[in-house]
Every structure is written in structure tokens, then in C-alpha cells.
Amino acid sequence: MRDLHLASGLMVAAVMASGAMAQGVHQSRNEHAAVGPVPSVQPLTNAFTDAHPQTRLLAKGDRIVRVYGRAFSTGATASASASAFIANHASMFGAEPADLIPVGPFPDGRHVQPIMFDAASGTYKFTGLYYTQTKAGIPVYGSRLTLLVRNEPGFPLVLAGAEMHDLDGFDATVQDKALLAPEVVTALASRFFARQPGITAPELVIWAGLDGADAEPRLAYALTGRSEDPFDVEMPEMLDLVLDAMSGELLHMEDGIVEVDIPGTVAGVSNVDEGAFFCSPLAAQGLPYARVTAGLNQTYAAADGGFVLGYGGSLPVTVNATLTGPYFFVNNIAGPNTTASITYSDGVANLNFNGIPSDEITAQVNAYLQANIVRDFALAHNPAYPVVSTQTDFPVYVNRTGGICPGNAWYDSGAFAINFCSAGGGYPNTAYWKIVHHEYGHHLVNVGGSGQGMYGEGMGDTIGVCISDTPELALGFFGDCNEPLRNADNTLQYPCSGEIHFCGQLIAGAVWDTRNELIVTEPDDYLDILSSLTVNSILLHNGNSIDPSITIDFLTLDDDNGDILDGTPHYSEIAAGFGAHNLDAPALALIGIEFPDGRPDLIGTGGTIVRVEAVGIAGTPVPGTGRLHYDAGNGPVVV
């Protein structure tokens, strides 16, 4: 075995093939990546790391979940680069290349997604290519392979994220199997609802576990049910269910109504900052994209609320506006939707909502304004964001009193809607600032292909943090305008196994601490850098967990040369911010070993000459400090 060392004793390379996997699999001081791949794929991962010594693997349990570091595939196009990697290395994830179909995790199933928009050039830094694992043509529930390719000559592949299962030996054929009839499956699913739901047609899938937890593979039916009337006084229901295809046993259930648990206080809405109603004054602000009508003519305001309405009739005329735009419409559950109107003869038609403020109308105005703000924020950092980039008529329900109200807000992933409660019972009206950002953040997570859980809660908070550039969520909820409901300025550590809203603060804390590092090194652009990394990282996340794979995703998005192991433009800031929460960044490769004349597999007993060069990566080799370690069978020798 030949290892080259610096004088400090830092090992920089190992030639022996049996040691390649140990070097290639990222280890950390927590349980993430503590176990390598299963023995059946060990030779495949060894072969990969031998071929790509500057690329690393991240294991979760006994499965590879990230491939990262120096670029590990190229091609004439992004698709060709991804296809070459799949053809050569899909098996190390436990899947055959032919079993990966080009279907993404997004609601529209798109396979290709641009990532990291550069407003200056009008181009995207990366292309994401997404695949679903199948066997015998049957999709594996929750499976996903994400390949991130840099948009530059050669289209280097710099990140692979996997949620796949080793199905070797599993019989996926349906012949001679007593599968339940679809109508029976639908009837069984109805048992899990308090009211009769509308249920999607059962889809035959393979269930093998989810979010890193493996289960014995079996045929199953996946279906979604929800109560059909979003205006119910009672809370709407929506459940994603997976039932055994032969026994009907419940294998998985996930609530599609994402709640935010908000402790009560007397509160109100502010149109000028993020505090509750009573914490700051109201002020008039332009309402983006609001619909304006006069007779049969209509237009939509600009982002600042300004508009020019073409009108060909006689004057005077009544000009009307509603809290409806191309992207959102507000529904006031407590009564009529508020409107604004003016009789126009000449001059400027100033339409004003909520001239005499009331909580009921303030909730409508604030929910509409903040919903548009968070949407614009997301699209500023990725104009092609799945669903959001083309979505219209998104409903916003305010002043609700039924179901889990008061004291709550929620995102309905089936209806694509956000909901806010009236004040009552010591709880505030929940339609203000970061609560709106948080709930729409759940939508970004959902259509971005990720699970919810603690990640969705934390990312919802994080979106609000990036918009406001403050760490507190929902100031004033406890009656004290200086006290938040949750706080991104925290010391929470990975792993976190508590309640999902509490544990969600882990990712918010990591992003906030990264912000505090960036503001020192990038005082002019820190928030734009942080926000772009945050929004685009959602497209790389899978499952409900918060773990060090997110750190790798941030670094890969930040990278500028196809190799995060030699550092990224903001490696130090990201490593410090995430490391403060035990979400450690992979260690940098300080130097690397190259073999200009090739590396022999075997050295004959007569000896040979092997040229070895130490090259700087994130460090600089010191001449004269190299050491050669070898073992010819009689114990290690140092030269």
C-alpha cells in the first residue's frame, strides 16, 4: 500500500483498491453516513471511487444518497451526461439502468428542470434531470434519482441524489397474484376519513419504504383522498395512502393538510412590518397585480400597484378593484370579499382598500399582499420553478372559524390553497407576514418535489427569514411584540427527533447562521446569495428529514468549477453556518495525488518506477515533505 503524506501527517491518497471505499464514503460524527453500502453493491461503489478518486459518496444507513465532489460524468448535452452516468453506475444505487424512467417528482412529472437562475445573463447555472425507479414497469413509491449538471461545455455532472431501493430478487409480476380490485381498495381507504372523501384511482406501485427507512418490498396501491368542499365549516381532510395490494394493510399514510401550530395571543395584521396587528401601525402599500375593472374593461396592476386601464366608454365611470389577481384570489370566509371603487372623471383613480381599518379587512389585504411577495421572491431566484412559474388562481382563504381555528393556519396540498384563521379564544388572526410566507413555503416544498415533515416546517420558516432578513417568526403571537413564536437564531443540533415545528428550526438556524457569515464577506449581496441557494436547494431535497445532505446541496449549488472538494465561493460561510448545527460540510481535499504515467494495478517482484505527483487542491503541497508508505507483506515501511 502506498500512501503519500504531508509532514503534518495528513493522509492525502491511498492507492490500494480495498481502501477506496473507506475514503470515498463521507463519514461524520453523527449517525448519518456511519454505515457503508450493502455488500451486494460494495464492488460497484469500490469501482466507482477507484475511477473517481476525487468524488465522494454519502451513505444514509446502508444506501448511497449523494454522490458529490469533483464532476463524475460528462457528455455533449446535459441529458447525455446524465444518461452516461446512469448506464455506468445506476446499479450502485440498487437499480438497473433500464428501470429508471425520465419522470420527475413534480406534480407535472417534468424530467428536466433548470436551476439557479442568473439574472445578469438570463441563463441557468445548472440543469436538474429527474428519474423514477421502476421494476417490471411498476413505479417504486417515493423513489427518485436527481442528477445535477452544470450548464457549461462538457456538461459535467456534479451531484447525484438518490432515494432508491435494492429490489434484486423481488418478484414484481402481477400474474397469478390475488390483487384487490380497485373498488375494494377505494372502500378500504374511505375508512380513514371522518367524512366521505373523493378518492383518486388507485395506482399500482412497489412499496419498499420511504425517507431512508427500508421496508420489505411488496406490491401496493397508492391513492389520495380528500373531503371535497374547501368551504366546509369543519377542517378539510386530505390523506396520501399506500395499501398492500393483496391484504389491504395500511403501509403508509401522510396528511396532505399541512398545519402550523400557532400558540395564542391577541394579534392583528401589520402592513408595514412583520409584527402582529397591534405591534405596528398600518400603512397603505401598493397591491401587486390586483384586477381593476371599468365596465367591461379590465387590467391588472403592476408589481407596485400602478396600472393603466384602457376604457372606451363615456365618463364618469365607476372603477372597481378586488383582491383578485392572475396569481391569487382572496376569499373572506367571514363575509363578503372586500372591494374598492371610485367614480372617475379625470385625474388619477386612486382605489383604496381598508380605508377605515378593521381586522376582517386587514386580514384580506395583508394575505393578498404577502402571498404575492413570497411568490415573486421564489420566482426571482428561479423563474422556471415547477408549477409556480405558470400557476394562476391560487386561493387564499382568510377569517376562517371552523375546523382547527382559531389559532392556526395551514396549507392544503390537494386544493393548492393556504388558509388563515380569525382571531378568537385568545388567538390572533393568523393572516400576516411570515405566517403567509411560511404557508406558501409549504407550497414551494410540495411542488418542488420534496416531502414535508420537519423539513417543510423548517423551510417554510426559512423562506420568511430570507424575505424579511430577520430570524423571528410571528412576533406578537404571545402578546409581547418582542417575543416570536419560533426563532432561526438558535443553537439546535442535528439530529433532532422532536416535534416537527420545533425540529424545523434546525434548517432555519443553519441558514440564519450562514447569513451571519455571508454578511461579513458579501455585505452587498449576502441576502441574494443566501436566498438563491435556499430556494433552489428545495429542488434537490427528497424526504422529510433535515440532515447533512442539505449542506452538500448548498455547497454544490454555490460551486463554480464542478468540484466542491476544492472549496466553493462561499464554502467557509456555509460550512460555518451549517456546522454550527452539526450539519457538517464535507472536509476539503487539501491536495490530491496524480499518476502522470498511469497507476499500475500490480507491481512485479522485480520492481518498477511509478511517477507520483502531489497537486494542490484546497491546499499547497510543501516540497520535500512527502513520504511513501508501502507494505510488501512484511509490514509497513516508510521511505
What does DSSP assign to residue 402? S
Alpha helix (H) ranges present in 90-181?
none
List pLDDT tens digits, range 450-468: 999 999 999 999 999 999 9
CB of 285 closer than 8 Å to CB of 273: no
Residue 597 exposure: Cα atoms within 13 Å on the Cβ side: 6
Q: Name the range with the highest mean pLDDT among 169-173, 528-532, 613-617.
A: 528-532
Stretch among 195-204, 241-250, 282-291 having the lowest mean pLDDT: 282-291
CA angle centred on 166, ends 160 and 167, rounded to 5°: 135
Stretch among 6-10, 22-26, 118-122, 225-229 having the lowest mean pLDDT: 6-10
Q: Name the range with the highest mean pLDDT among 33-37, 165-169, 246-250, 386-390.
A: 386-390
CB of 450 closer than 8 Å to CB of 163: no
**Structure confidence at residue 5 (pLDDT):** 28
Pairing relationship of beta strands 144-150 and 157-163 according to DSSP bridges: antiparallel
**Structure confidence at residue 39 (pLDDT):** 55
Which pLDDT band holds residue 234 (cuts at 50, 70, 90)? low
Q: How far apart are CA 513 and CA 574, in angstroms?
A: 8
What sign does the dihedral 458-462-464-468 (CA atoms) show? positive
Closest alpha carbon to 540 in 465, 451, 466: 451
Which pLDDT band holds residue 393 (cuts at 50, 70, 90)? very high
Taking 70 as the threshold, does the pLDDT of residue 229 lie above it?
A: no
List pLDDT tens digits, range 116-127: 999 999 999 999
Q: How far apart are CA 452 and CA 500, in angstroms?
A: 9
Find the mean pLDDT for residues 193-205. 89
Residue 194 exposure: Cα atoms within 13 Å on the Cβ side: 7
**Structure confidence at residue 181 (pLDDT):** 93
Grid coordinates of 226: 380528500
Grid coordinates of 368: 393578498
Q: How far apart are CA 86 and CA 102, in angstroms?
A: 11
> Using only C-alpha atoms, what is the Rg of the chain?
28
Alpha helix (H) ranges present in 331-471?
359-381, 433-447, 453-468
CA angle centred on 120, ends 287 and 325, rounded to 5°: 20
Kindly list the structural domains of the chain, giving each domain's residue range(s) and its CATH number in brackets, ordered by start: 14-170 (no CATH), 182-255 (3.10.450.40), 261-291+358-579 (no CATH)
Taking 60 as the threshold, does the pLDDT of residue 261 lie above it?
A: no
List pLDDT tens digits, range 275-330: 666 776 778 888 988 888 887 777 778 888 888 777 766 667 888 889 998 899 99
C-alpha to C-alpha distances, 423 to 15, 62, 408, 409, 486, nearest whole angstrom: 67, 49, 10, 11, 20
Pairing relationship of beta strands 408-412 and 257-261 according to DSSP bridges: antiparallel
What is the percent of the chain where pLDDT is above 70? 89
Q: Name the range with the highest mean pLDDT among 197-211, 288-302, 334-348, 591-605.
A: 197-211
Q: Which residues, including other chains, have CB under 8 Å from residue 312's CB and lie 6 or more apart? A: 297
Q: Which residues, including other chains, have CB under 8 Å from residue 135's CB and lie 6 or more apart? A: 99, 167, 170, 172, 206
pTM of the complete model: 0.82
Q: Which helix (H) or strand (E) holds 101?
A: strand 100-101
Taking 50 as the threshold, does the pLDDT of residue 20 lie above it?
A: no
Find the mean pLDDT for residues 489-509. 97
Q: How far apart are CA 163 and CA 281, in angstroms?
A: 48
**Structure confidence at residue 459 (pLDDT):** 98
